[in-house]
Amino acid sequence: MSPVLAVPPPYARILRPGPSVAVLKETSLALHMPAPVELANSWSSAEVMMQKGDHSSALDELRTSWDLCENDTQRAKTLKMAGDAGTALGVEDPDMQRVHWRKALKSYRNSMKMDQNKETRKAMNNLSSMMDANAISRGVGFQLMDEGNPTPFGLFAIVAVIMMSLVAVKVISDMLTEEEGNPVVSMEVSYVDSETGQRTLGTIDIELFQDDAPVHVENMVLHASQGNYDNTIFHRIIDDFMNQGGDIDNQDGRGGNAAKWFGYCNGESRSSSSACEQSQWTIPDEANNGLKHGPGKLAMAKTSAANTGGSQFYIVPTGSTPSHLDGVHTVFGKVTSGMSHVDAINEVQTGDNDKPIDDVILLSVSVN
C-alpha cells in the first residue's frame, strides 16, 4: 500500500513576540553569507547521489557536509537534505522504514530549530502524514506543543487527563510507553580503499532483528558488549558475494564460539555446558525465520552442519543476492548506514584464501 501524502489541516497558531532586531540582523547575515566552496561541493555531491537513488551514500556525504558548516543556516540545510534522503530510504526499504523515517523526522525537527524554512516544514509534515498512515510512532516522547501547534500526543493528552480519574495510573503509563526498537550495532572499520590507495576509516550501522532471530541477536550483542570483536579482521572477502569476519580466535575462519552457552556443542544438542569446552559452544540455527539474503543483509557464518554458528558473520554488498543461502544461513540484521563502506571493502585486493592483502580491521563494535 502506498503511503498517504496528504497533510493534516493546520491548527490555529498561538501568537508570540517576534524576534529582536539583533536576531534579525544575525539571521540576515547568515542567509546572505555564501557557503564555503568545500561545503557547496559536498552538498552538490549529495544531491547527485540522491538523484541517482543512492540515498545511503548521500547520508554519508552529508556527514562530511556537517563538519564543513560555519553557521546554523548551513547546518539547517544539511539536516534538511539528510531528512530528504532518510525519507526516500524509508520508501525504498519497507523492512527498515520505521528506522529511516524516525531518523529523517529528527533531522527535520533539528533543522527547523535552526531555520524556520517553509520547505523544511512542508517536508516534515508530509513525512509525519506518511508515518501516521503506516502506524509508525514518531518517537517524540511527551512533547505537547510544536511551534505553537498541539502535537498528536498533545491532543491525546487532553483525553488522558479525563481518563485519569477513571483508569489506574499504571494503565495510562503503559499506553504512553513508546515501543522499544531493535538494537543497532555500530562497526568501526579501517581498510585500504582500492581506488585511492589510502587507508580509510568508516562506520557501518546495522539494525539487528531480535524478533526474527533472538538467539543470533543476543549472541552478537554479548560478543560486542564483551569487546570480543575489537581489533579483529575481515578474513575472507569475495567480490560481488560477501565480506566475512568475526573470527575472534584465529582470525582466519577456523575459530570463534558462541558468547554464552545456548545448549549446543559443535552443532550437537547437550544438556550441560560441561559437556564441552567453551571454544566448542555454538548456537542453534534460526534460518527459517523468513528473512532473505540481499544487499546490506547481515548473516551468520557456519560450517555445512546445522547449528554450528559461533561468532563469525558476513555482510552482503550491493549487487549480491545469494539466494542459495536462504534457509541455510540465518539472516539477522541489515545495514542502515555506511553501505558505501561495505561496498568499498568488497572491492579491496585479496590474495590466498580470499584474504585481503591489506588487513580490513574491525576496530570496534558498539551496541546502541
What does DSSP say about strands 232-233 and 268-269: parallel, antiparallel, or unpaired?
unpaired
Indicate which CATH number applies to the domain containing 114: 1.25.40.10
**Residue ending a domain, choose from 105, 138, 171:** 138
Q: How far apart are CA 269 and CA 16, in angstroms?
A: 68
- Rounded Cα distance between 47 and 286, Å, is 40
Looking at the structure, tell me whether residues 240 and 295 fall in a common domain: yes
Q: Which of 181, 206, 234 is the last residue of a domain?
A: 181
Q: Are residues 293 and 175 in the same domain?
A: no
Query: Looking at residue 198, what is its pLDDT?
Result: 94
Q: Give the three-class secondary structure for 32.
A: helix
* Grid coordinates of 171: 494503565
Do 292 and 148 lie in a common domain? no
CA distance 23 to 1: 45
* pLDDT the model gives residue 11: 27
For residue 2, the model assigns a pLDDT of: 33
Strands 232-233 and 361-367 come out as antiparallel
Q: What is the mean pLDDT, run by run of 10 residues, along the chain of 368 residues?
A: 32 34 42 77 92 90 88 90 91 88 88 87 86 73 47 57 56 48 94 94 96 97 95 96 96 94 96 91 97 97 96 97 97 97 97 96 94
Report the CATH number at residue 299: 2.40.100.10
pLDDT at 132: 81
Sequence-separated (6 or more) residues with CB below 8 Å from residue 93 = 100
What is residue 134's DSSP assignment?
Answer: T
Q: What SS3 class is residue 44? A: helix
Q: Are residues 92 and 41 in the same domain?
A: yes
- Total number of residues shown for the chain: 368
pLDDT at residue number 141: 45
Q: 189 forms bridges with which residues in the sheet?
A: 202, 362
* In a shared domain, residues 275 and 338: yes
Whether residues 110 and 197 share a domain: the answer is: no
Q: Domain containing 196: what range?
A: 184-367
When divided into structural domains, the chain yields a total of: 3
Predicted local distance difference test score (pLDDT) of residue 139: 54
DSSP-assigned letters across all residues of 330-348: PEEEEEEE-HHHHHHHHTS
Same-domain pairing of 353 and 234: yes
Residues 159 and 250 in one domain: no
Per-residue model confidence (pLDDT) at position 111: 87
Residue 265 sits in the same domain as residue 335: yes
Same domain, 211 and 293: yes
Rg of the Cα trace of the chain? 24
Q: What is the pLDDT, as a whole number, of residue 354?
A: 96
Q: Give the C-alpha distances (Å, rounded to integers) separating 354 from 195, 231, 238, 359.
A: 19, 19, 6, 12
Q: Do 286 and 307 lie in a common domain?
A: yes
Whether 330 and 357 share a structural domain: yes
Domain closes at, from 181, 205, 237: 181
pLDDT at residue 65 in the model: 87
